[in-house]
Amino acid sequence: GETVTQEDIKTLEKIGIYKQINAYNVMVLIMLSFFEGQIIFGVTKGKKFALKKSIEIITVFFIVSLLAFLLSKISIFLLPIPLFILILIEFFDFKDVVLLSLAFLLILSNMFMQEASILIIYFVFSILLAYLQEREIKILSYFKRNLYFTIIVASIVLFVSKSFIASSQNAVTNSLYALINFSVSTFSSLAVVYILEHIFNEATFLRLIELNEPNNPILKELLERAPGTFNHSLNVANIASQAADAIEANFLLTRVGALYHDIGKMLYPYYFTENQVGIPNIHNSISPSLSKVILINHVKDGIALAKRYRLPYDVIHFIETHHGKSILLYFYRKAKETNPEVSEEEFRYPGPLPDTKETFIVSLADAIEAASHSLSDNETDYRHLEEVVNRIVEERMKEGEFVEAPVTFHEIDIIKQTFVKSLFSIYHKRERYPDEKTDSPRSS
């Protein structure tokens, strides 16, 4: 229960129980972060991607290590572990955040062995915050949840400090430090992320929330120029995000990717059936080859628009992959009627194939939502919708469209079930009841 003096700290440093963070420790952290980035991302994503991610890791490690160097002189309870993890979750998948955070925790535990229990408490609650943040779509909910966690952590620190570490007075001080740490981390992480997201053009939580807003300039333009495509994209976003949630993929990224996947259609909206309301089908009056060029080019046009608006690469990737290398079968067959020598490859999208769970889901949802519009009113029951979903999935799998997607058969089954339920909720019509006065049917 006694206050630790500078002499006590020197004694603890000599026997290896306490080590202050110094420039050497910071350099070790930065070097380890670089090699960790190369190992984690080099194997799965390639050297170029690994280098970019390693630079991001180094940047985050440098910022947090510098803060840790300064704050550890005041109190270990101010070590910016929550800040570190809340920044990381904006740039990396949850599993990668856990690995990177564990490395950071092990190094800090070696420096502060006596307070390892506090470091573990910080780590556990910060990881929980990061996990929940990955599934959040509202900024207000983010602040509310972090406030609850801050109070819980401060209470636990008070109990642990009082029971095992310090006097009652010091326990209250430690608890206040924990309160300040998590509170400041909540706000400062957003500020740091805002700066870094513009430097690295990443699809962070804040950026995705901004892009998810219906009054975003790109979505407003899409609604004005191609209302049918906008409604299709909105349906795809609802269907896909529910499937992503069901298999614990990135819910918000999936939703935003779906909202923007077809923005290329706004350049020539009336060449796409969903926008041909009250007008004849233009493709009936042009050659299949010209139709093919216009339809396939909506992907290239979408990528160009996305780059002009500086959309994050992770969002652009949905535009690139949502058709994979699928074939425009109707126009291929039509072209073959006049030219039997025409090649299938001429009528295929250039790719690339979906290579993440999120792009896999959106690619499927896009095809299934479009196919569901061919059903008549009496075919929108659960059985017919299930048949459509199963048919599209089987066709895509036979064509090898999903060979690069990291999904299991179990996850595909969950995705299919979620799609059917989502489509059924869209097409299900309310029962009609007789009006009490006129006895005529009306919608409830």
- 187 has which bridge partners? none
Cα torsion 9, 13, 19, 22 to 10°: value is 90
Over residues 130-155, mean pLDDT: 80
Q: How far apart, in Å, do the first and last CA atoms of the chain sit?
A: 69
pLDDT at 7 over 70: no
Tell me the H-state helices in 339-408: 357-372, 382-398
Identify whether the C-beta of residue 60 lies closer than 8 Å to the C-beta of residue 204: no
Minimum mean pLDDT range among 164-178, 245-259, 384-398, 430-444: 430-444
How many residues can be counted in the chain? 444
Distance CA 198, CA 221 (A): 23
Tell me: the pLDDT tens digits for 71-126? Answer: 777 888 888 888 888 888 888 778 878 887 887 777 777 666 666 777 888 888 88
DSSP summary character for residue 17: S
Over residues 378-383, mean pLDDT: 80
Please report where in the chains the tokens 């060449």 appear, as a residue: 271
Minimum mean pLDDT range among 30-39, 213-222, 259-268, 296-305: 30-39
Inter-helix orientation angle 94-111/23-45, to 10°: 160
Identify whether the C-beta of residue 428 lies closer than 8 Å to the C-beta of residue 380: yes
Q: Among 108, 113, 112, 122, which residue's Cα sits nearest to residue 26? A: 108
Q: Is 311 exposed, middle or buried (0-12, 13-18, 19+ CB in 10 A)?
A: buried
pLDDT band at 134 (very low <50, low <70, confident <90, very high): low
Give start-end residues of each CATH 1.10.3210 domain in the chain. 206-428
Angle at 436 between CA 434 and CA 440, to 5 degrees: 40
pTM, two decimal places: 0.77
CA dist 140 → 5, 147, 415 (Å): 42, 11, 29
Res 435: pLDDT = 46
Minimum mean pLDDT range among 12-16, 188-192, 300-304: 12-16
pLDDT at 417 over 80: yes
pLDDT at 32 over 70: no
Give the residue, 186 or 260, on which the prediction is more confident.
260
Architecture in CATH for domain 206-428:
Orthogonal Bundle (1.10)
